[in-house]
Amino acid sequence: MKTILVTGASSGIGAETVRYLSKCGYNIVMVARNIERLKEVAFQVDKDSLIIPYDLRDLSSIETIFKKCEENELVLDGMVHAAGIVQDTPIRTNDIEIMQEVTTIHYYAFVELSKYFSKKRYSNDGSSIVAISSMASVLHEKGMCTYSAAKSAMDAAVGVMSKEFCNRSIRVNSILPRMVNTPMITNLGYLDSNSVKEALDPIQIAYLVEFLLSDKSKHITNAHIPVGG
Ligand SMILES: NC(=O)c1ccc[n+]([C@@H]2O[C@H](COP(=O)([O-])OP(=O)(O)OC[C@H]3O[C@@H](n4cnc5c(N)ncnc54)[C@H](OP(=O)(O)O)[C@@H]3O)[C@@H](O)[C@H]2O)c1
């Protein structure tokens, strides 16, 4: 059975993806900072999952995630990068520290994770990487300068990786959701209940993630798929 590493596994899209993939029979490696929430999600799934608490702002030690997998005799077949934070700030009040944090998680950490994932000792040939990008990557709305730029950078990296990793048949794709009903959205505080009701259920994203990880999509790479109508 395939083993998939999911970042952002403690909440929202990542947690829903863990639950759905586990139901489909995948083994899961879960990464996020909050160990209690990771344990709660692990408790909700049938199969044993490996929990690796990690703060992705620490770029220098990202290989330890993959070394932990190796110690547990796990060679990966897929990776889903769902960790993320949002910044909604007009440029006039931009905060450089938040800007660095957003860019680090969505872009730098994604590239570092993929660098190690693509090594033969950590992943099997024919593996699949799925990046959770956003429609913000292409819709440049007010307040979203850093978030949009970080997601565009992520999508550019997906394109480059799909070419650089194809000698190992590693496919790389991204999903661009519109609004999804997760704590990221509800914590923003300024959305009315109707907007939240109209938001997508995270399971809709999990279905597409599973398709992109599976052999059902074995000829699809460098696709950037919008979801949300
Ligand atoms: N919700 C939406 O409307 C929407 C739309 C388009 C795209 N997206 C994207 O979808 C992805 C998932 O978002 P979500 O809506 O599921 O948000 P969420 O419920 O807030 O979950 C975010 C996840 O990221 C993890 N995370 C944040 N900072 C981290 C760090 N420094 N190190 C490790 N993990 C970290 C969090 O875990 P810990 O706090 O435990 O570390 C959590 O598991 C994000 O990339 C987001 O940009 C969301």
pLDDT (tens digit per residue) in 63-91: 999 999 999 999 999 999 999 999 899 99
Is 195 a residue whose pLDDT tops 90?
no
Q: What is the 3-state secondary structure (H, E, C) of 138-158?
A: CCCCCCCHHHHHHHHHHHHHH
Residue pair 79/158 in contact by the 8 Å Cβ criterion: no
Place 229 in a pLDDT band, splitting at 50, 70 and 90.
low
- Could you tell which of 184, 196, 209 is best to mutate to test the pocket of ligand 1, judged by most ligand atoms within 8 Å of the CB? 184
Please list every protein residue whose CB sits less than 6 Å from any atom of ligand 1: 8, 10-14, 32-34, 37, 55-57, 82-86, 105, 132, 134, 177, 179-180, 182-185
Q: Tell me whether residue 161 is exposed, middle or buried, using C-beta atoms within 10 angstroms of its C-beta: 0 to 12, 13 to 18, 19 or more.
A: buried
Helices within the chain (DSSP H only): 12-23, 35-44, 63-71, 96-103, 109-117, 145-164, 183-186, 193-198, 202-213
For residue 115, what pLDDT is reported?
98
Is 191 a residue whose pLDDT tops 90?
no
Give the residue with greater pLDDT, 198 vs 175: 175
| Averaged pLDDT, 21-48 | 94
Between CA 177 and CA 136 the distance in angstroms is: 9
Please, which residues have CB within 8 angstroms of residue 214's CB and are 6 or more apart in sequence?
128
- Spell out the domain ranges in the chain: 3-222
Q: Name the residue at shortest CA distance from atom 45 of ligand 1.
A: 84
The CATH architecture annotation of domain 3-222 reads 3-Layer(aba) Sandwich (3.40)
For residue 175, what pLDDT is reported?
98
CA of residue 99 to ligand 1 center, whole Å = 16
For residue 193, what pLDDT is reported?
77
- % pLDDT > 70, the chain: 100
Phi, psi of 31 (to 5 degrees): -125, 130
| Averaged pLDDT, 45-52 | 88
Helices within 137-223 (DSSP H only): 145-164, 183-186, 193-198, 202-213
Pick the closest to residue 62 from 127, 5, 16 (CA basis).
5
Residue pair 151/134 in contact by the 8 Å Cβ criterion: yes
CA of residue 175 to ligand 1 center, whole Å = 14
